[in-house]
Structure formats: C-alpha cells, structure tokens
Chains A and B, each alone.
Chain A
Amino acid sequence: MPASSSGPVSSTASAPPESGQGSLPSNHVPELLAALLPSGLPVLPGAAFAAGYLAVGPDSNAGGDWFDAISLANGSVALTVGSALGHGAGAAAAMSQMRTLLTELLQAEPSLDAVVDRASAFAAAAPTLQGASMVLAVLDPGNGRLQYITCGSPPPLIVRRDGPAEHLASTGAGPLGSLGATPTPSTARLGEGDLALLYSSGLVDRPTGTIWHGMDELAHDAVHSVHSVAADAARDPRTDPADCLSHVVDDLLSRTGYHADVAVIAAQLLRQPIHPLRVQVQSEVENLRLVRDEFSTWLAAAGASSPDFEDLQLAVGEVLTNAFVHAYPPGEEGPIEFQAHLDPDGSVQCQITDHGIWKDPELAAESGGHGLMVASELTGTVRVSHPRAGGTVVTFRRALRRPPAMGSVSTPEHESTPTSEVPFRVTARGTATGGAAVGVQGRIDTTTEPEFSRRLLSACRGGTVSLTVDLADVSYLDRAGTWALHQLSQQLAVHQQALTLVVPPSGQAHPALHLAELAHQADPTADDAEPAHWDSSRRPGERW
C-alpha cells in the first residue's frame, strides 16, 4: 500500500546556513536511528555529496538501512548504502555495527574486494547482519573513477550531465554473509557534472510492478529531477552543487508509495572545483568587511552549511581584527593577506598573514586576547608563528560537514499486507527426477518467511534431497525470503544436492532473485513455466 506523507513537503533554498537541510516529512524520525546514522557528509573540493533517509512504517518501527560517505587518505571517498534484514532497534544496531566496521576496513584494507570479503565474513558470524545487502563504491574525484561492488543490492544509477540515466551492472556478489567467490569490483567513470546515486532497494520496491519497473521509474524520475533542479539553479546563482544534489535526493524521497525504509546517497563530480581564495588588502578598517565578505562568498560556494559557516566566519573575523588592530602602529598601514583553501580531505584551511610587529595578547590593549580564544574554541588548534622576515602568520583549519536529509512516513500496520492477494501456501509436488518439489503461492516476506523456511527444509529432508521450488505464483518476495533461499541452498550444498528455482521472467519473484544473485539456481526448462531469461529484458546495465 502506498505510504502517505505525514508532514508538509516544502523546499529549502538560498542562504548557506539552511543549505543541505532536507525538506522531508520529519515528524517522527526515530531518535535511535538518527543517532546511529552519520550526522554529516564530507565537503570536498572536487565532488559534492548529499544523502537522505526515509523511515517508513508504523511509528518507531525503524529499519536497518544505512548510508555513509567516508573520506579516505588518498583523496578518494567511499560511499555506501546498505540494509540489514528486519526492523526495530536490533536492525538499527546491526547497521551501525556494519558502518563502524566498514569505516575501519576502508582505512586498513588496500582493495575494495578485500573490504567486502571481510565485511561478509563478519556478517556470516553475526546473526543480525546475515543477509544484509550493500553497495560499496570508491570515487576518486580527481579522475571520476568509480569502483563498486554490489552485494544483493541494486547497482548504482548514473545520471549523465547531458541527459540519460544508466543503471550500472551488478557485480555478482550475493548478500553479506552468503558463501561464495570473492566479488570482483566493477568500474565506471563519472564525467564533470555526472551524478552517481546509491540506494537501498526500498527506493525501487514500489506498490505496483516489480523492482525492474521501480528501477525504470527511478531512472526517469532522477533524470527529471536533475534537469529541473539544474534549471532552478541557473536562475539563482547562489545555489551550489551540493544544494542541487540535496534537492534531487529530496525529490526522490518525497515520492509516495514507499513501503520499506529508504537510504540514498548521491555524489556529483563538480564542473568547477573549489579554487583557493587569496585576498590582500591594506590594514584600513574599511577593508575588514571586504575580506570577510569575500570569504563568506567563497565558503558558501564551497558548500559550507550551518554551523561550520558561522563558526568559520567568526573565527576568521576575530583573527583578522587582531591583525588590523595590532599588526601596525597607530596611524600606520600595512599589508594583510588572507588565504583559504579546501583540502582534499574536506577541511578548510585559513591563513592570515601580516608583516607588522607581534604584540603579546596579554599586553595588547583592553580586548585581552578574546580573538584568539574565540578562534581556538571554534576551530580547534590555532597556530601563531613569527617568520624570521618579520610579521605574524596565524593558521587554523576546520572540517566541513553537510547534514543529510532525514524524514519519515507512517504506514498503518493493517495496510502493510494487501488482503486481496492469494494467501501464502506451500504445496508438495512429486517429481520424476527423484528429488523433491514444492510450489509456493502468495507473499514471502518477514511474516511468512519462517514457515517458508521450515516447509522447504522439511521437503528436502534437511538438505539431503535435491529440491525444486516453483515460485511462479509468488506475489511478493522480499529479502527475508531470498536470504532463506540462500541458506537453503547452502544446506543442500553440504550434501551435494541441488536447489532449482522456477520463475518466469515476468514473475514477481524474478527481480528479487536476481538482486540476491540467486538467478544461477534457476532452471529455465523446469516445470511448465516459461523459460527464465535471466540475462534478458530489464537487466541492470541497460541504458534508459
């Protein structure tokens, strides 16, 4: 059933302090969830990021989706979206564990496949993380190279600056914790202005149609949103790329019809990287505001938002005031130089230089060194040095973060399962080939999955007899169901027995099996179903 939006959806634009804030219905984001997800995204010189989370479901029934953007030492940034199975505090805690683990592994491991390997091994041993899906990517803003691995998750969507959208190909790894070969990363390339969208399957699990339809619709809506946001931005020159990206994320999350939590993260390669700022003025009092204004404009263009924006403005103002007042004797003027740049790691570094005579703060006038105190409070370490050639150099830095958009929609509990559907049922069928066979009807979701698992396990005698499962009449198959099939296939493999799944390409279960990388289990000739063409029709990798 479509979820109804429970709050006003308004658009935010303009002034830096509000930028990056989502405009999602947000009356009820469970506190725990908000505390376990990142409070900010990095602000980098070559790429912009935006993220959002939509909690969907009966009140406080938060899910286990996650998103994150992690700056790496070499100037690249890791992006991830994933989803632990289940709901509630347990799932939220599980996703938080995985986020922490990924942050650690990304610093320690040299390659993406090694990170995923270890994350999957960890999940295999942690019941709450088994079957979690994930997409993990590393973007190098310097050359636009995007390396990624999908683990039972939809692949990234690329929206090109000049129009078309393209779902990248899945890399062929199943959900975390499933046994299998080491996944090989795939590589895509972003051009200037191109956008990469990573999302959890909730974004494409729509009330009507399959996940393939949902992906079609997403590609269409994303292209439309990117273009309309770009058109709006062209009218308002103050809009920075990160703002535009936030609006695109808001647009997508403000669609109705979600029935599972949604996590999204978007990255865009900047067409105009943030260049360093350098201003030199004479120490006339009137020039103080001139320098501050230049810095404010630069800071807004860099994508700084509240409270980074105000704090840096004040810190720079205080140190500049010191230089204007104390560097040169009364009645004399001299040069004051201000520099700011955005480091590849996402922090703003500021430097204020004068060529005057440093006065000890304690001895300098009645203002009593408040300036340096304020700057230190706001930025951490402030370094004051005196080059041999004379004068004073003051430097400090502060990492910029942009807040993600957080929202929630309520779906009354009774609406979560349509009543008009065929009820869930597992029917035993004999087969000529000696193995067992069952047919399944209705919904396979978190509610019916335990019975589904038990019936299948008992049909194949605990995994000792090959099993064919006909899923042609399944009306809905979620990740709890595909994870049950994963576990069943592992149980059968122990006894060298096969699991065969029968699903026509038009079947509801088809895309879910594909995402879970269970497609290879399918037998296109089994039973009376149409042949299953796993590599045909709506496969990721196609251009829209």
Chain B
Amino acid sequence: MKSPASVVVSMPTQIDMTNADQVRDQLLAALQSGAATVIVDLTKTNYCDSTGCRSLTLAHRAGQVNGTEVRLAVVPGAAVARSLKLLELDRLVHVYPSTEAAELG
C-alpha cells in the first residue's frame, strides 16, 4: 500500500502540562504512519507553553531519526508564534502560515 505524502495532525486549543504527553504520543504515532511529512496544525491553538514546545521538539527529533519531516502550521502573530520564538523552536522546525502552505512546502 502506498503511503500518503503528508498527514495533518490537529492540535488542541491549549497545550500545557495537562495534555503535553498526549500531544507527544499523538505526534509520535503519526510519524509511524509512513508519511514523508507530518504537519502539526496549530492554527486553532491559542496557548502553548514550554511543556507543549518540548513535545513538539521531541516529535521533530523522532522525525529526524526515521526520516520524516515535521512541519508546523501557525497563524502568524498568534500567541503560539510567540511561544515558538521564545523557545527558539522556529529555528529548529519549519513554520508555515497555514496547513495548505505547509503541504506545499
């Protein structure tokens, strides 16, 4: 069976210590799907703290190991964009303004 080129994983509106582990597991599962690209849809997320960013970092590292690219879709100027910048995640992972833009690469 042919693997899809990319999968989009929708993120919750808030990511913090109460659900960061779930988010990490959800992303790790998507990385096992065989898709070449995993798009993390953060466009509906209005809060993501350092715990949430850590889950995203872990997913990115796991992707590097199995050859899957992790891309983030973040509304420019949103609170999440600020978090990513503060924790320098935007330097590590490619960030796009929408899931469509992320799919195009």
> Which listed residue (A17, A288, A313, A374) contacts B17, Cβ 8 A?
A288
- Do A285 and B17 touch (CB < 8 A)? yes
> Which listed residue (B51, B79, B82) contacts A321, Cβ 8 A?
B51
- Do B17 and A378 touch (CB < 8 A)? no
- Do B79 and A314 touch (CB < 8 A)? yes
> Which listed residue (A286, A307, A311, A317) contacts B49, Cβ 8 A?
A317
A367 at the interface (CB under 8 A from B): yes
Q: Which of A293-335 contact B (CB under 8 A)?
A: 307, 310-311, 313-314, 317-318, 321, 324-325
Knowing A289-B16, A370-B87, the reply to whether A313 touches B51 (Cβ < 8 A) is no
* A310 proximity list for chain B (CB < 8 A): 79, 82
A442 at the interface (CB under 8 A from B): no
- Do B16 and A288 touch (CB < 8 A)? yes
- Do A317 and B16 touch (CB < 8 A)? yes
How long is the Cα–Cα vector from A289 to B16 in the complex, in angstroms? 9
A542 at the interface (CB under 8 A from B): no
Residues of A within 8 A of B (CB): 17, 285-286, 288-289, 292, 307, 310-311, 313-314, 317-318, 321, 324-325, 366-367, 370-371, 374, 377-378
Q: What is the distance, in angstroms, from A395's C-beta to the closest C-beta of chain B?
A: 19
Task: Count A/B pairs, Cβ under 8 Å.
Answer: 53
How long is the Cα–Cα vector from A285 to B14 in the complex, in angstroms? 14
Knowing A289-B16, A370-B87, A377-B86, the reply to whether A318 touches B50 (Cβ < 8 A) is yes
- Do B50 and A371 touch (CB < 8 A)? yes
Knowing A377-B86, A378-B86, the reply to whether A314 touches B49 (Cβ < 8 A) is yes
B26 at the interface (CB under 8 A from A): no
- Do B16 and A321 touch (CB < 8 A)? yes
Q: What is the distance, in angstroms, from A377's C-beta to the closest C-beta of chain B?
A: 6
Size band of the interface chain B makes with A: 10 to 19
Q: What is the distance, in angstroms, from A284's C-beta to the closest C-beta of chain B?
A: 10
How long is the Cα–Cα vector from A314 to B80 in the complex, in angstroms? 10
How long is the Cα–Cα vector from A156 to B73 in the complex, in angstroms? 49
Specify the main secondary structure of chain A where it touches its partner. helix
Q: What is the distance, in angstroms, from B79's C-beta to the closest C-beta of chain A?
A: 4
What would 7 A/B residue contacts be, using CB atoms closer than 8 Å? A285-B18, A292-B16, A314-B49, A314-B79, A321-B51, A367-B50, A374-B87
B54 at the interface (CB under 8 A from A): yes
* A366 proximity list for chain B (CB < 8 A): 54
Knowing A321-B51, A374-B49, the reply to whether A314 touches B83 (Cβ < 8 A) is yes
- Do B17 and A324 touch (CB < 8 A)? yes
How long is the Cα–Cα vector from A424 to B50 in the complex, in angstroms? 69
How long is the Cα–Cα vector from A377 to B16 in the complex, in angstroms? 19
- Do A374 and B86 touch (CB < 8 A)? yes
* B47 proximity list for chain A (CB < 8 A): 292, 313-314, 317
Lowest 3 CB-CB distances: which A-B pairs, in order?
Answer: A310-B79, A370-B50, A317-B49
* A371 proximity list for chain B (CB < 8 A): 49-50
* B49 proximity list for chain A (CB < 8 A): 314, 317-318, 321, 371, 374
A286-B18, A292-B47, A317-B16 are known contacts; what are 16 more A-B pairs with Cβ within 8 Å? A288-B18, A310-B79, A311-B82, A314-B82, A314-B83, A317-B47, A318-B49, A321-B17, A321-B51, A366-B54, A370-B53, A370-B87, A371-B49, A374-B49, A374-B50, A377-B86
How long is the Cα–Cα vector from A292 to B51 in the complex, in angstroms? 15
How long is the Cα–Cα vector from A318 to B51 in the complex, in angstroms? 9
Chain B residue at minimal CB-CB distance from A366: B54
* B18 proximity list for chain A (CB < 8 A): 285-286, 288-289
Q: What is the distance, in angstroms, from B88's C-beta to the closest C-beta of chain A?
A: 10
How long is the Cα–Cα vector from A475 to B69 in the complex, in angstroms? 72
* A317 proximity list for chain B (CB < 8 A): 16, 47, 49
Chain A residue at minimal CB-CB distance from B78: A310
* B51 proximity list for chain A (CB < 8 A): 321, 367
- Do A325 and B17 touch (CB < 8 A)? yes
* B83 proximity list for chain A (CB < 8 A): 314, 374
How long is the Cα–Cα vector from A367 to B53 in the complex, in angstroms? 10
> Which listed residue (A313, A367, A377) contacts B79, Cβ 8 A?
A313
How long is the Cα–Cα vector from A310 to B49 in the complex, in angstroms? 11
How long is the Cα–Cα vector from A413 to B71 in the complex, in angstroms? 51
How long is the Cα–Cα vector from A479 to B93 in the complex, in angstroms? 58
* B86 proximity list for chain A (CB < 8 A): 314, 374, 377-378
- Do B14 and A289 touch (CB < 8 A)? yes
How long is the Cα–Cα vector from A208 to B18 in the complex, in angstroms? 63
Q: What is the distance, in angstroms, from A29's C-beta to the closest C-beta of chain B?
A: 19
How long is the Cα–Cα vector from A292 to B14 in the complex, in angstroms? 11
Chain A residue at minimal CB-CB distance from B51: A321
How long is the Cα–Cα vector from A313 to B49 in the complex, in angstroms? 10
* B79 proximity list for chain A (CB < 8 A): 17, 310, 313-314
How long is the Cα–Cα vector from A321 to B20 in the complex, in angstroms? 12
Q: What is the distance, in angstroms, from B60's C-beta to the closest C-beta of chain A?
A: 16
- Do B16 and A307 touch (CB < 8 A)? no
Q: What is the distance, in angstroms, from B18's C-beta to the closest C-beta of chain A?
A: 5
Q: Which of B43-79 contact A (CB under 8 A)?
A: 47, 49-51, 53-54, 79
Chain A residue at minimal CB-CB distance from B87: A370
* B87 proximity list for chain A (CB < 8 A): 370, 374
How long is the Cα–Cα vector from A366 to B55 in the complex, in angstroms? 12
* A307 proximity list for chain B (CB < 8 A): 82
* B16 proximity list for chain A (CB < 8 A): 288-289, 292, 317, 321
Q: What is the distance, in angstroms, from A244's C-beta to the closest C-beta of chain B?
A: 24
How long is the Cα–Cα vector from A310 to B86 in the complex, in angstroms? 13
Interface centre among A313, A374, A378 (most CB of B within 10 A): A374
Chain A residue at minimal CB-CB distance from B81: A310
